[in-house]
Amino acid sequence: MNKTASAHRTSAPRRSAMLGLTWMIALAFAVPLSPDTAAATDIPPNTLEKIRQSGEVMIGHRQAEPPFSYVVGEQPTGYSLELCSRIVDLLAQRLNLPEIKIRYQVVSSATRFVMMRAGKIDMECAATTNNAERRKLVAFSYPHFVTATRFVALKESGITRLADLAGRSVAATTGTVNLDQLNAVNREKGLNISVLLNKENASSFAMVTSGKASAFVMDDILLAGQIAAAANPEAYVISQDTLSRPEPYGILLPLGDTAFKDAVNESIRTIYASGEIYRLYEKWFEQPIPPKGQNMKLPVSPELRAVFDTPKDYME
């Protein structure tokens, strides 16, 4: 047996083993991970540790969503923002920090989820509906308000029921569940509604005021806020018909960060149990608010009182 033949016979099994290993590696990369497997490889955020190290928290807010989250002058304010400020105070105690500095970041209906998932904000304190579809993208705190989707129209139009919207133009705001609900009702009832889209609630409401739209579909409390701030509040009417069942608002939180969500919820539970939440609610919903002194005149609903008395995750 010559050396060349021996070398060929010896190297053949090695080449075969190497080829087999190569194919195994290729198959491993070719087979897609299941959602469960992929999720297991993700590192969840550690927001509490980030806050502890930086001494700061980034809060997303809206520019024009009274009384929840809006700007007066250059200062973000509102019911949701004041609640979040108190939560941050309690988080500082939990982390043994003298204080946590709040930094504000403007978000919109279209950008809030993207910015949360990108880590640009730690909390969004506004009027964001908690539903099953959104819980796939972000986490939510205990509810701090309960609402339902309705529409606003000018009284002189005589539009008061969903059936009255047939064949008319209706304004809606992009990135909201209200738009989805309007489209669903439009299809189901065959109303032939022409949907006019706007980026902000104020723009949608202005279309009703100017007569460019017959109605504006939105959460009833946000409609009440727009009416209260209008030049002639008596000119508008909110429908009795709803496009949804009662829905909760929650504070937006990072998905998968259980420790941070638990800490926020524990702070909320403390605020609710102390009765402080009722004083906060009265300030923003039953008294004149800045900048124009409008008053929502909206007592706590039985559904919301139940939330305050026994806070828990909202499950559909």
Report residue 315's pLDDT band, with 50, 70 and 90 as the boundaries.
low
Residue 43: predicted pLDDT: 74
d(CA 149, CA 160): 14
Residue 190: predicted pLDDT: 97
Residue 302: predicted pLDDT: 87
Report residue 40's pLDDT band, with 50, 70 and 90 as the boundaries.
very low
- Give the chain's length: 316
Residue 316: predicted pLDDT: 53
Omega before residue 290 within 30° of 0, cis: no
Q: What is the pLDDT of residues 87-103, one digit of tens each?
A: 999 999 999 999 999 99
Place of tokens 């499950």: 315
Domains of the chain: 47-147+247-309 (3.40.190.10), 149-238 (3.40.190.10)
d(CA 152, CA 138): 30
Q: What is the pLDDT of residues 100-123, one digit of tens each?
A: 999 999 999 999 999 999 999 999
Please spell the DSSP secondary structure of 141-156, one letter per residue.
Answer: EEEEEEE-EEEEEEGG
Share the mean pLDDT of the chain: 88
pTM: 0.75
Q: What angle do CA 63, 64, 68 make, to 5 degrees?
A: 100
Amino acid at 38: A
Assess whether pLDDT exceeds 60 at residue 299: yes
Residue 15: predicted pLDDT: 44
Report residue 255's pLDDT band, with 50, 70 and 90 as the boundaries.
very high
Q: Annotate 197-235 with b (16+ C-beta within 10 A) or e (fewer).
A: ebebbbebbbbbbeeebbbbbbbbbbbbbbbbbbeeeee
Assess whether pLDDT exceeds 70 at residue 291: yes
